[in-house]
Copies of this chain bind each other. A is one copy, B any other.
Amino acid sequence: MEKAMDHITIGTMAKINGISEQTLRLYDKMRLLQPSEINTETGYRYYNIKQCAQLDMIQYMKALGMNLVQIKECLDGKDIRRFTQILYLQKQNLEKQMLEMHYAKQAIERSIESYRRYESAPEENTVILEYIHQRRIFCYDTKINCYSYGMDYYEHILRSLKKNYALHHLPMCYFCNVGSIMRKEFFQKKELCATEVILFVEDDFQSEDGIEVIREGMYLCTYCYGFNNEEKSLKILMDFISEHNYEVKGDCISEILIEFPTFNNYDRNAFFKLQVPVKQKKKKII
């Protein structure tokens, strides 16, 4: 095929290996793969066909996710043990990355679903009965009532959740689906009090603790836009329940489905779903 098997120019070497000339020059400079011959007058690099073996090894190692320094170290070391060690490390590395990606993918799907829901959402403050599946949440008790302070305070609580969150090694992408939880006793008393900020996590998410399960079942829900309308919407829900003879079966969740990028640079603008598990009381036959 080639006239001289051991006198391959950089362009040819690049072509037969599906790599760029610049990359070969870089490898030369890094002493990862140096041409078998260099014309001292012209500086032209000439490779030997057998050097492709080395290139294959480099590309294989790259495919395993190793960086050039690691590859060099490994090739220089000529140590198979070291190579197998690196293989193990790379495997762990990959597994970690794959898990993160898995969560990121789930988060994206969740967001897409939320937008779909947003687009087909009912009018604000309409009360709807919905069946909702079991979910898992990560709770963070701020010990401070979200409703008794302004937005500024709420921001600080979120910052603190973010940190707490990092401590628990939860993936950042879950931060898109936050909310707060108003425990049953407060909701029933129509007392606006919620001290816990929550984060929805996937069913297959593994974590040490702090994870709580929210039961599946029938929920009465309202949707609302913006933080300012949350309290109003909550009260509508409370009133609806007492007027329509429902029994509250658990905690009320205020879930942020979407946070809009930034129509207003200085304020959160969100689409909420308020939800409380209920059961219809049996009507007394008079």
- Whether A60 lies near B266 (C-beta < 8 A) is no
- Whether A50 lies near B263 (C-beta < 8 A) is no
- Whether B74 lies near A261 (C-beta < 8 A) is yes
Least CB distance, A126 to chain B, in whole angstroms: 22
Interface string of A152-178 (1 = CB under 8 A from B): 100110110011001000011101100
> Which residues of chain B have C-beta atoms less than 8 A from A67's C-beta?
none
CB-CB under 8 A for A108 and B83, given A152-B49, A259-B57, A267-B53:
no
Q: Besides A18-B162, A91-B108, A95-B105, 18 other CB < 8 A contacts?
A: A2-B156, A36-B266, A48-B266, A49-B156, A50-B267, A53-B262, A53-B266, A56-B175, A60-B176, A63-B175, A64-B104, A78-B261, A80-B115, A83-B115, A87-B112, A91-B109, A94-B108, A98-B101
Judged by a CB distance under 8 angstroms, whether A102 is at the interface is yes
> Which residues of chain B have C-beta atoms less than 8 A from A162's C-beta?
17-18, 56
- Whether A64 lies near B108 (C-beta < 8 A) is yes
> Which residues of chain B have C-beta atoms less than 8 A from A78's C-beta?
261-263
> Which residues of chain B have C-beta atoms less than 8 A from A206's C-beta?
none
**Complex Cα gap A126–B17 (Å):** 36
Closest 4 CB pairs of A and B: A63-B173, A63-B172, A16-B159, A53-B268
Q: Select from chain B the residue with minimum beta-carbon distance to A174.
A: B63
> Which residues of chain B have C-beta atoms less than 8 A from A115's C-beta?
80, 83-84, 87
Q: Select from chain B the residue with minimum beta-carbon distance to A53.
A: B268
Interface string of A97-130 (1 = CB under 8 A from B): 1100110110111011001000000000000000
**Complex Cα gap A197–B1 (Å):** 18
Q: Select from chain B the residue with minimum beta-carbon distance to A163.
A: B18
Judged by a CB distance under 8 angstroms, whether A52 is at the interface is yes
Least CB distance, A29 to chain B, in whole angstroms: 17
Chain B CB within 10 A, most for which of A56, A78, A83: A56
Give A233-273 interface residues, CB cut-off 8 Å to B.
259-263, 265-268
- Whether B261 lies near A57 (C-beta < 8 A) is yes
- Whether A158 lies near B74 (C-beta < 8 A) is no
Least CB distance, A69 to chain B, in whole angstroms: 15
Give A42-75 interface residues, CB cut-off 8 Å to B.
48-54, 56-57, 59-60, 62-65, 74-75
Judged by a CB distance under 8 angstroms, whether A151 is at the interface is yes
> Which residues of chain B have C-beta atoms less than 8 A from A112's C-beta?
84, 87-88, 91
Least CB distance, A60 to chain B, in whole angstroms: 5
> Which residues of chain B have C-beta atoms less than 8 A from A88's C-beta?
112
- Whether A94 lies near B87 (C-beta < 8 A) is no
